Amino acid sequence: MRHLVASAALAATLIAQPLVAHAQGCTIYQHRDFGGSSWWFDDGDRMIMIEGEDLGCVNSEGGSCGYTYYEASWNDQLSSYTVEPGCEIWMWEDIDEGGAQWHSDRSYSYVGSDWNDEVSEVYCACS
């Protein structure tokens, strides 16, 4: 399960998820300095930021099960993220892994002016 903390601006459009303790994964944030709404990704989870139906488990490599979520309210909203040890986050400017790409194994309190509010797809991979 994932956890979403909605800010007042996005509360009406973002889906709340129950709070769960996490071992490894990535978290995206709406605002710089890890502020605003957030979304937790387990190993193998992907978010495509358009309208669509969540696909549920889409890969089961190594015994883990990655989920694909469709969440249009997150399109062009990401400003910071955290990456747990042993994980890496991948981000694309456009859906279907299109446009510019960025991946990192460390957290950023601000993605910088070139990437701020530009992300349309995210994937989290952990070893």
**Other C-beta atoms lying within 10 Å of the C-beta of residue 28:** 24
Domain boundaries, the chain: 4-126
Contact 39, 70 (CB under 8 A): no
How much is the pLDDT for 19? 47
Instruction: Tell me how far CA of residue 34 lies from CA of 53, 110, 117, in angstroms.
Output: 27, 8, 14
Please, is 94 exposed, middle or buried when counting C-beta atoms within 10 Å of its C-beta (0-12, 13-18, 19+)?
A: middle
Over residues 99-108, the mean pLDDT reads 97
62: left (phi over 0), alpha (psi -120 to 50) or beta: left
Q: Which CATH number fits domain 4-126: 2.60.20.10, 2.40.420.20, 2.40.30.20, 3.40.50.2000?
A: 2.60.20.10
Q: Can you tell me the distance from the alpha carbon of 87 to that of 44, in angstroms, rounded to the nearest whole number?
A: 10
Q: Does the pLDDT value for residue 4 go beyond 90?
A: no
Mean pLDDT of the chain: 84
How much is the pLDDT for 63? 57
pLDDT band (50, 70, 90) for residue 66: confident
How much is the pLDDT for 7? 45
What SS3 state is found at 86?
coil
For 29, phi then psi, to 5°, come to: -130, 145
**pLDDT tens-digit profile of 70-103?**
999 999 999 999 999 999 999 999 999 999 999 9
